[in-house]
Structure 1
Amino acid sequence: MDYKSAAREIAKGGARPLYVCYGPERYLLQEFIQFLTDKLIDPAVREFAISRYDLAETSLDTVLEDAGTLPFMAEKKLVIAKNAVFLTGAKDTSKVEHNPEKLLDYLKTPSDFSVLVLLVDAEKLDERKKLVKAVKDSSVAFPALSAEDLIAWVGRQAERAGFSFAAGAADQFVLYAGSNLQTLSAEIEKLSLYVGQGGRVTGDVVDALVTRTTEQNVFILIEDIVRLRLQRAFTILQELIKMKEEPVKLTLLIARQFRIILQVKELSRQGYSQQQLASQLGLHPYAVKIAAEQGTKYKDEQLVRILEELAELDYKLKSGKIDKVLGLELFLLRLAA
């Protein structure tokens, strides 16, 4: 079950006795927990009606015992337990022993006054396990948003904050801020304070206000090179140098991006979807989308040659055979040519 379907069901008053929440998008998962809390628990009694456990420190028996105990001063109670490793294929390294069979027994006659939420810090559950099959209908996935969904999410968050993005500014915003929803949410709040209610965020505002990491700056630098925006690319390089970023580190980051571009091209030809590419390469789907677009500007042999040049540049920088800043600038000029 996806989280949107689960939220619609809860909104209609149909909360289930169990939710197993898993997936890489932790921000959406926490939003779901908050939504569940708001719908089920009166704010006046939340101190008594919400229990939180860490299954790395507390046994599943204790959690289930709590779920089976009548709530105090509330109609419903919410029992939240994180680190449910026994639902994955990973080895449980905690010192606490769990008896997962007890959960199967609980689900036969679950408490009608409790909602149990098990949090799993993993991309997927181990579907070979009997227990995972038993909780399948109660499992809620929180996968990384696709590139399109990410832009749509940014637009909705901006609307909630009372402003809008000009054409192309939302894409630029994600390119600058990255794909982490927690970071994006904080940057959206900053933009909201700047433009005010009913304001409009343009590309210039994004450029002036959004905080960029070194990795994002390199990402943007390569995008500017690909789009032949050479002046912007060299401006970013000079900013990175002024920030005391080591040219050797920048070279490695540039090489990483071109390696990703080549991998995306190769796997795309094999029929991998955007989501499959993201999972295979350990990237966010938005990064895959940008890499795929960048890859259309290069042939495979060009990418291989670029990576060879970067390996040679790395050797020269480390051995002192060329000035570090000059070497990087000359590489970017050759790349642009």
Structure 2
Amino acid sequence: MKAQGSFAVSVFSGIVYKEQKGVDCKVDAKAAAKAVKQGEVSPVYLLYGSEKYQMNEFLSFLEAQLVSKEDRDFALIHMDLGESPIQAVVEEAETVPFMVPRKLIIVRDASLFTAGKESAKVEHRPETLLTYLDAPAEYSVIVFLVPQEKLDERKKIVKAVKKSGTALAFTPLGGEDLLKWIEKQAAKEECRFESGAAEMLVRNAGTGLQTLAGEVDKLCLFAGRGGVITGAVVHQLVARSTEQSVFALVEDIANLRLNQALSIFYELLKQREEPIKIAALITRQFRIILQVKTLSRQSYSQQQIASQLGLHPYAVKIAGEQARKFQAARLESILNELGELDYKMKSGAMDKVLGLELFLLRLGA
């Protein structure tokens, strides 16, 4: 991958919240990055969300823009609210930097901003940050990292940061956006995916951007500069996890590809995967398909369903495609069969491998 300093702002998919005249205004994350490049730097950044890869990319972007390489030993300060109180962070921000023009204070484990329980080992006094935000130091920038989907909007500290600084949410990319992101990553390495190959990569490697970035690097290295990554290359070089294998197995069943589904099942057994675990993952996938089908009928959008079920938007997209191939009553019947199979497997009433194999044969028929 290219150096972090050349990081393209197109990776950002978050939303920035800036409070102006008492009203929250949404600005996209590209605008936040552009503002930094133009010298409009917030005294405090609150980065939160479940997409840690993008969060770390934005943090690297801030480091590259605000701190020169030769100043990093003195300018980058790392703190953890699980070990240090918030008042220590404020004290650090108020302390004049040594031998550098500006400090970037990176604060992790910032549970002060969420509804979760705070560390009992450390006593925090949030009012010190509230006071600091009234007149923040010009030579310090504080970055709070909160790897949680939501902030606790009831807290004064959250409202204060939104008013005086920048709150940026990093959420999973949607189905089409995820594929476009993969293609852009490949373009940076001067290679490209053939039609359908990027989607195959997601089906094999999952939706985590950190994993996908590594796989794109590997595939582009194999294809070479100006090369084309085909579906066959993805199949050859990108190993599927157990979860992704079960996902593919259900996909094959939904498309009446019984031989391919059984082939995946036997491969999982060769990898010494426990049949009960395989059955549990199959059950989970069919439950998701039924839930997506039910919510879609109630006119929920793909993004709303993803939020409701706690799933990646791409997983909802695929589950929606699978749901169209089953009646709701059939899905309920399959889940009942899986429940009975689980009981028989765990009670010893049926051989685990044979029971799961017979289930797949009946399902495919």
How high is the TM-score relative to the length of structure 1? 0.95
| Structure 1 residue 254 displacement after superposition | 0.5
1:315 paired with 2:343, answer yes
The match for 1:140 among 168, 180, 185 is: 168
1:292 paired with 2:295, answer no
Choose 165-174 or 279-288, whichever is displaced more.
Answer: 279-288
Q: Residue deviations 1:124-166, cap 9 Å, x none?
A: 1111122212222511111122122211111111111221111
| Structure 1 residue 205 displacement after superposition | 0.8
Q: Is the 8 A contact 2:257 2:364 kept in 1?
A: no
1:54 alignment counterpart:
80
1:66 paired with 2:89, answer no
**What amino acid is aligned across from residue 8 of structure 1 in structure 2?**
K
1:39 paired with 2:39, answer no
1:123 alignment counterpart:
149
**What amino acid is aligned across from residue 112 of structure 2 in structure 1?**
F
2:274 alignment counterpart:
246
1:75 alignment counterpart:
101
| Structure 1 residue 270 displacement after superposition | 2.4
| Structure 1 residue 324 displacement after superposition | 2.8
| Unpaired stretches in structure 1, ≥5 consecutive residues | none
1:201 paired with 2:229, answer yes
Q: Work out the CA distance in 2 between the residues paired with 1:217 and 1:275.
A: 25
1:111 paired with 2:137, answer yes
Alignment root-mean-square deviation, CA: 1.5
Q: Is the 8 A contact 1:3 1:32 kept in 2?
A: no
Q: Work out the CA distance in 2 between the residues paired with 1:189 and 1:78.
A: 30
2:239 alignment counterpart:
211
The match for 2:308 among 265, 280, 283 is: 280
Q: Work out the CA distance in 1 between the residues paired with 2:143 and 2:348.
A: 57
Choose 51-60 or 144-153, whichever is displaced more.
Answer: 144-153
Choose 67-76 or 24-33, whichever is displaced more.
Answer: 67-76
**SS of the residue aligned with 1:78?**
strand
Q: How many residues align?
A: 337
Q: Work out the CA distance in 1 between the residues paired with 2:327 and 2:307.
A: 24
2:202 alignment counterpart:
174
Percentage of matched positions with identical amino acids? 55
The match for 1:185 among 203, 207, 213 is: 213
Q: Residue deviations 1:211-249, cap 9 Å, x none?
A: 211111000111112122333222211111111112221
The match for 1:11 among 37, 62, 71 is: 37
Q: Work out the CA distance in 1 between the residues paired with 2:168 and 2:188.
A: 25
**What amino acid is aligned across from residue 41 of structure 1 in structure 2?**
V
| Structure 1 residue 49 displacement after superposition | 0.4
Q: Work out the CA distance in 1 between the residues paired with 2:255 and 2:229.
A: 23
Q: Work out the CA distance in 1 between the residues paired with 2:228 and 2:120.
A: 50
Q: Work out the CA distance in 2 between the residues paired with 1:57 and 1:253.
A: 38
**SS of the residue aligned with 1:117?**
strand
Q: Is the 8 A contact 1:82 1:119 kept in 2?
A: yes
Choose 114-123 or 22-31, whichever is displaced more.
Answer: 114-123
Q: Is the 8 A contact 1:3 1:142 kept in 2?
A: no
Q: Work out the CA distance in 2 between the residues paired with 1:96 and 1:317.
A: 47
**What amino acid is aligned across from residue 325 of structure 1 in structure 2?**
V
| Structure 1 residue 12 displacement after superposition | 2.1
Q: Work out the CA distance in 2 between the residues paired with 1:4 and 1:25.
A: 16
| Structure 1 residue 89 displacement after superposition | 1.5
| Structure 1 residue 330 displacement after superposition | 2.3
Choose 39-48 or 148-157, whichever is displaced more.
Answer: 148-157
| Structure 1 residue 288 displacement after superposition | 1.1
Q: Work out the CA distance in 2 between the residues paired with 1:163 and 1:230.
A: 35
**SS of the residue aligned with 2:105?**
strand
Q: Is the 8 A contact 1:53 1:81 kept in 2?
A: yes
**SS of the residue aligned with 1:115?**
strand
Q: Is the 8 A contact 1:67 1:111 kept in 2?
A: yes
**What amino acid is aligned across from residue 98 of structure 2 in structure 1?**
F
The match for 2:361 among 326, 329, 333 is: 333
Choose 194-203 or 327-336, whichever is displaced more.
Answer: 327-336
2:334 alignment counterpart:
306
**What amino acid is aligned across from residue 214 of structure 1 in structure 2?**
T
| Structure 1 residue 194 displacement after superposition | 1.3
| Unpaired stretches in structure 2, ≥5 consecutive residues | 1-15, 17-27
Q: Is the 8 A contact 1:57 1:95 kept in 2?
A: yes
Q: Work out the CA distance in 2 between the residues paired with 1:271 and 1:5.
A: 32
Q: Residue deviations 1:171-195, cap 9 Å, x none?
A: 1100110011111111112112211
